[in-house]
Chains A and B, each alone.
Chain A
Amino acid sequence: MKKRLVAIFTLLFTAILVLTGCKSNDQQTITAVGSSAAQPLVELAGEEFSKNNPNEYINVQGGGTGTGLSQIQQGAVDIGNSDLYAEQKKNIDAKKLVDHRIAAVGMVPIVNKNVKVKSLTIKQLRQIFSGQITNWKQVGGQDLPITIINRANGSGTRSAFEDDVMEGTPSVSSQEQDSSGMVRQIVYNTQGSISYLAMPYMNNTVKSINVDGVKPTMKNIETNKWKIWSYEHLYTKGEPKGMTKRFLDYIMTDHVQNKVVKQLGYVPIKDMQYQKDYKGNVTPISKEGD
């Protein structure tokens, strides 16, 4: 009995030693943590990257924009994914971090399919989320109370949406969910509900809403006709080096930007004709200078 136990433990230890040893010898891994809105993009880009570089792996984890920024600030990971500019989060020293904007992403208001309203003005949207409009009949729909499903306070998607829609008006306290998938599921199940999603999470179980008569399409985001959008940021602590740098360069190649980024529903960064700074100021990009 005792001998067998000893044998098992020895086996375990050698296994651990051998396995970890293998990893450090031939494989190289970097870790990217943070925003769940950016996660599908970084994951897919990472898979493509590993295809070209068989011994290099990108380990992508969610956890939220806050996690991404605080982990990269501590230097615990190689890349911190964020929906926000680091300047927008308190307790983050943005000067130590280097911003790599890899794509733009539109935030789309969504409603349950039984809601008859097709289009809202940005003012009506603001009044709905601040609790001034509480019934769909006030905005030209049927007599049905509005159920607001919000994202958790501090979530990157919510901040991006509020920056462009609410203009400082506080949101009314309402139901909150901590992931895009749950939001979509609950809007699908709940009559009269309204929420918002990052465009890559859209599907046909919920209905998107036009804002000020503009459809949420990639073209309209590029030209800033669709005003509710933000960047996906990959932050590094200091200038990126080695594999991290090669991965970031790889994401910016035409192959990834035109295929992976578009295919998932993000907007390639070089297609954007407008840029947005962390205060929300939007300016056109002069094509010659860039």
Chain B
Amino acid sequence: MKDPIRESLTKKSISAKRETKGKVISFSFTAIIVILVVTIIGFVASRGLVIFFKDGVNPIDFLTHSVWAPDKLDSAGHPIVGAAPMIIGSFAVTLIAALIGTPFAIAAAIFMTEISPKIGRKVLQPVIELLVGIPSVVYGFIGLTIVVPFVRSIAGGSGFGILAGSFVLFVMILPTITSMSVDALKAVPEYYREASLALGATRWQTIHKVILRAASPGLLTAVVFGMSRAFGEALAVQMVIGNAMLLPQNLVSPSSTLTSVLTMNMGNTIMGSTPNDALWSLALLLLLMSLLFNFVIRLIAKRGEF
């Protein structure tokens, strides 16, 4: 004889089945993403390490030497791959863009959250969202036709160089830093403001001494995020930086970044040849840098919980 109660208790209920199903689906999709990331890193590493293991390039020379000619060999028989000009170029455009961009972004964020949220939401927010939507090739084209001649007229040289690259990047990372700064400022609890005002502080004193201080880890995260975007941007920078694999003499001498060298030379190298492997090493370096940026963001975020 079947006991219906016993049966219903020992069998899995419909909702339990649904739960398992949901778990399996979400777990397998997550697993696919993780596998994808791991394979990408593994693939880039396997290609990028070839010039160190097979061609015997010293990794320190790779980072510090300044001559890039992977199709030629030096006196010891190793390919000449000195990535210092690109590394310095990448860091220079990133830092300068962040230096110019941060004050603008934080000022805009303060305006939008503290001073005039209404105009901020109605005017500034859409403008900034619009900036995000502009494709990077358009930024590059504007840079080429407006920024480069402008830099040439104020600073001399050909106009191509780190300064022009930084100007273009500054506009590109502005929305990233601004919108993240807005989130950081909004996350500051309302009672901080109330307490500060109750103590007799003016609005400016509140913003300056309380809100900015309290939001500083969030603001820092915003800046690092912007920097990581600037570091990885390829097309727009490539169009205005001049792409000369030389150590930058000044801010208006043609130079190059890791990304611009990659996009410039990809199509001209043969898979499996040393120049191609050398490009993979640059790609690996870029990947490691973005991991580092992520790590820094994690570190800051951990410190900044309310």
Q: Which chain B residues border A66 with CB–CB below 8 Å?
A: 267-270
A77–chain B nearest beta-carbon distance, Å:
13
Q: Kindly report which residue of chain A lies nearest to residue B273, judged by CB atoms.
A: A91
Given known contacts A90-B71, A91-B273, A175-B160, is B239 in contact with A67 (CB within 8 Å)? no
- Name, among B69, B148, B270, the residue most crowded by chain A CB atoms within 10 Å (CB to CB): B270
Contact yes or no, A64 B267, CB < 8 A:
yes
Given known contacts A175-B158, A189-B148, A190-B159, is B242 in contact with A152 (CB within 8 Å)? no
> Quick check: is B133 within 8 A (CB to CB) of the other chain?
no
**How does the 8 Å CB contact mask read for A55-75 relative to B, with 1 for contact and 0 for none?**
000000011111101100110
Number of A-B contacts (CB under 8 A): 81
Q: How far is the CA of A65 from the CA of B71 in the complex (A)?
A: 16
Q: Which chain A residues border B223 with CB–CB below 8 Å?
A: none
Q: Which chain A residues border B158 with CB–CB below 8 Å?
A: 147, 175, 190, 193
Contact yes or no, A65 B148, CB < 8 A:
no
Q: How far is the CA of A175 from the CA of B276 in the complex (A)?
A: 20
Q: Kindly report which residue of chain B lies nearest to residue A155, judged by CB atoms.
A: B268
Residues of A in contact (CB 8 Å), total 32
> Quick check: is A275 within 8 A (CB to CB) of the other chain?
no
> Quick check: is A153 within 8 A (CB to CB) of the other chain?
yes
Q: How far is the CA of A182 from the CA of B242 in the complex (A)?
A: 11
**How does the 8 Å CB contact mask read for A188-211 relative to B, with 1 for contact and 0 for none?**
011001000000000000000000
> Quick check: is A213 within 8 A (CB to CB) of the other chain?
no
Contact yes or no, B271 A154, CB < 8 A:
no
> Quick check: is B304 within 8 A (CB to CB) of the other chain?
no
Contact yes or no, B270 A91, CB < 8 A:
yes
Q: How far is the CA of A155 from the CA of B266 in the complex (A)?
A: 10
Q: Which chain B residues border A186 with CB–CB below 8 Å?
A: 144, 160
Q: How far is the CA of A147 from the CA of B265 in the complex (A)?
A: 21
CB contact list, B219-275 vs A, under 8 A? 238-239, 242-246, 254, 263-273, 275
> Quick check: is A176 within 8 A (CB to CB) of the other chain?
yes
Contact yes or no, A175 B269, CB < 8 A:
no
Q: Which chain B residues border A92 with CB–CB below 8 Å?
A: 270
Q: How far is the CA of A63 from the CA of B152 in the complex (A)?
A: 31
Contact yes or no, A154 B269, CB < 8 A:
yes
Contact yes or no, B243 A175, CB < 8 A:
yes
Q: How far is the CA of A74 from the CA of B145 in the complex (A)?
A: 40
**How does the 8 Å CB contact mask read for B262-294 relative to A, with 1 for contact and 0 for none?**
011111111111010000000000000000000
Contact yes or no, B265 A90, CB < 8 A:
no
Q: How far is the CA of A175 from the CA of B254 in the complex (A)?
A: 6
Q: Which chain A residues border B246 with CB–CB below 8 Å?
A: 173
Q: Which chain B residues border A185 with CB–CB below 8 Å?
A: 144
Contact yes or no, A173 B244, CB < 8 A:
yes
B253–chain A nearest beta-carbon distance, Å:
10
Q: How far is the CA of A66 from the CA of B144 in the complex (A)?
A: 27
CB contact list, A13-64 vs B, under 8 A? 62-64
Contact yes or no, B272 A91, CB < 8 A:
yes
Q: Which chain A residues border B245 with CB–CB below 8 Å?
A: 173, 176
Contact yes or no, A154 B243, CB < 8 A:
no
Given known contacts A90-B273, A91-B273, A178-B263, is B244 in contact with A65 (CB within 8 Å)? no
Given known contacts A153-B71, A189-B144, A193-B158, is B243 in contact with A70 (CB within 8 Å)? no
Q: Kindly report which residue of chain B lies nearest to residue A176, judged by CB atoms.
A: B243
Q: Which chain A residues border B144 with CB–CB below 8 Å?
A: 185-186, 189
Q: How far is the CA of A189 from the CA of B242 in the complex (A)?
A: 13
Contact yes or no, B244 A174, CB < 8 A:
yes
Contact yes or no, A182 B268, CB < 8 A:
no
Q: Kindly report which residue of chain A lies nearest to residue B160, judged by CB atoms.
A: A175
Q: Which chain A residues border B267 with CB–CB below 8 Å?
A: 62-67, 178
Given known contacts A90-B273, A173-B244, A185-B144, is B268 in contact with A154 (CB within 8 Å)? yes
Q: Kindly report which residue of chain B lies nearest to residue A154, judged by CB atoms.
A: B268
> Quick check: is A225 within 8 A (CB to CB) of the other chain?
no
Q: Which chain A residues border B271 with CB–CB below 8 Å?
A: 70, 74, 91
Q: How far is the CA of A51 from the CA of B243 in the complex (A)?
A: 41
Q: Which chain A residues border B272 with CB–CB below 8 Å?
A: 70, 91
- Name, among A62, A63, A152, the residue most crowded by chain B CB atoms within 10 Å (CB to CB): A152
Q: Which chain B residues border A153 with CB–CB below 8 Å?
A: 69, 71, 265, 268, 275
Q: Kindly report which residue of chain A lies nearest to residue B245, judged by CB atoms.
A: A173
A184–chain B nearest beta-carbon distance, Å:
12
- Enumerate 25 A-B pairs (CB-CB under 8 Å) in ascending A order: A62-B267, A64-B267, A66-B267, A66-B268, A66-B269, A73-B270, A90-B270, A91-B272, A152-B264, A152-B265, A153-B71, A153-B275, A154-B265, A154-B275, A173-B244, A173-B245, A174-B244, A175-B158, A175-B254, A176-B244, A182-B239, A185-B144, A189-B144, A189-B145, A189-B148
Q: Which 5 A-B pairs have the closest CB atoms?
A: A64-B267, A154-B268, A91-B273, A176-B243, A66-B268
Residues of A that sit less than 8 Å from B by CB: 62-67, 69-70, 73-74, 89-92, 147, 152-156, 173-178, 182, 185-186, 189-190, 193
Residues of B that sit less than 8 Å from A by CB: 69, 71, 144-145, 148-149, 152, 158-160, 238-239, 242-246, 254, 263-273, 275
Given contacts A62-B267, A70-B272, A173-B244, 14 further A-B contacts (CB under 8 A): A63-B267, A67-B268, A69-B270, A70-B270, A91-B271, A91-B273, A92-B270, A153-B268, A173-B245, A177-B264, A178-B243, A186-B144, A189-B145, A190-B158
